[in-house]
Chains A and B, each alone.
Chain A
Amino acid sequence: DTAVSQTPKYLVTQMGNDKSIKCEQNLGHDTMYWYKQDSKKFLKIMFSYNNKELIINETVPNRFSPKSPDKAHLNLHINSLELGDSAVYFCASSQDIFGTQYFGPGTRLLVL
């Protein structure tokens, strides 16, 4: 009974490549999020979608582009990967914009 799932779990790639991370939630939630956790474990929000509409867009390079094909999915596409993009990326969802957020298992991205 996976609530928030992400694929892949691990991603190792070369600088300059383009990659995507997928997120799906089966909780029937309206709101989804992407967070980045750096090497010091610090967590920061990147994006949030509510009913497929972008509602939070933090200061993130435009190489990062979220896409929400439907309310249950929020994917993250990253162009021209850089060494500094190496991190753990967490997807989360909540019933609505006010609800408690539930996190996925994370995608560990390593850019070489």
Chain B
Amino acid sequence: GNSVTQMEGPVTLSEEAFLTINCTYTATGYPSLFWYVQYPGEGLQLLLKATKADDKGSNKGFEATYRKETTSFHLEKGSVQVSDSAVYFCALKETSGSRLTFGEGTQLTVNP
């Protein structure tokens, strides 16, 4: 079956530090890949997505590149802010279906 594995958290960084949250996946076929973000007490928001190999998704300074050869979709940001503190979820969806499979989530805390 499909699965998504995220780096274990929590992750604590200082403001303006570089962020990487690792995500690898197992899937049949060619899934679409997503990063969702959940701010404290809120619902999930779509952060970025990529639908085919070598696509790069980007939004709000965050980027992730769909790497088929390493089955990865790592999330990066060059300079984090306190307001980026949230839980980040990597997810995949097979092109043939609608079911989203989520990773465990990674809690990010950014200190001033």
Residues of chain A at interface, number, CB under 8 A: 25
Complex interface residues of chain A between 29 and 74 (CB less than 8 A to chain B) = 31, 33, 35, 40-45, 48, 50, 55-56
Candidate in A40, A101, A105 with the most chain B CB atoms within 10 angstroms? A101
Q: Which residues of A contact B (CB under 8 A)?
A: 31, 33, 35, 40-45, 48, 50, 55-56, 90, 92, 94, 97-98, 100-106
Task: Please report whether the interface of chain A is mostly helix, strand, loop or mixed according to DSSP.
Answer: strand
With A56-B99, A101-B46 known, 11 other A-B pairs at CB within 8 A are A33-B98, A41-B105, A42-B105, A43-B105, A45-B99, A90-B43, A98-B95, A100-B34, A101-B93, A103-B36, A106-B42
> Which of chain B's residues has its CB closest to A4's CB?
B43
Candidate in A33, A94, A98 with the most chain B CB atoms within 10 angstroms? A98
- Pick the residue among A48, A90, A105 that contacts B98 (CB under 8 A): A48
Instruction: Decide if B89 is an interface residue (CB 8 Å cutoff).
Output: yes
Instruction: Fill in one digit per residue for B47-59: 1 if any A CB lies within 8 Å of its CB, else 0.
Output: 0010000000000
6 smallest A-B Cβ distances: which pairs? Answer: A97-B98, A105-B43, A103-B44, A43-B102, A41-B105, A106-B43
Q: Which residues of B contact A (CB under 8 A)?
A: 32, 34, 36, 38, 42-46, 49, 87, 89, 93, 95, 97-100, 102, 104-105, 107
Interfacial chain B residues near A94, Cβ < 8 Å? 98
Expressed in whole angstroms, the Cα–Cα distance for A90 and B43 within the complex equals 7
**Shortest CB–CB separation between residue B48 and chain A, in angstroms?**
11
28 examples of A-B residue contacts, CB within 8 angstroms: A31-B98, A33-B100, A41-B105, A41-B107, A42-B104, A42-B105, A43-B44, A43-B100, A43-B105, A50-B98, A56-B98, A90-B43, A92-B44, A94-B98, A97-B97, A98-B95, A98-B98, A100-B32, A100-B49, A101-B46, A101-B98, A102-B46, A103-B44, A103-B45, A103-B46, A104-B43, A106-B42, A106-B43
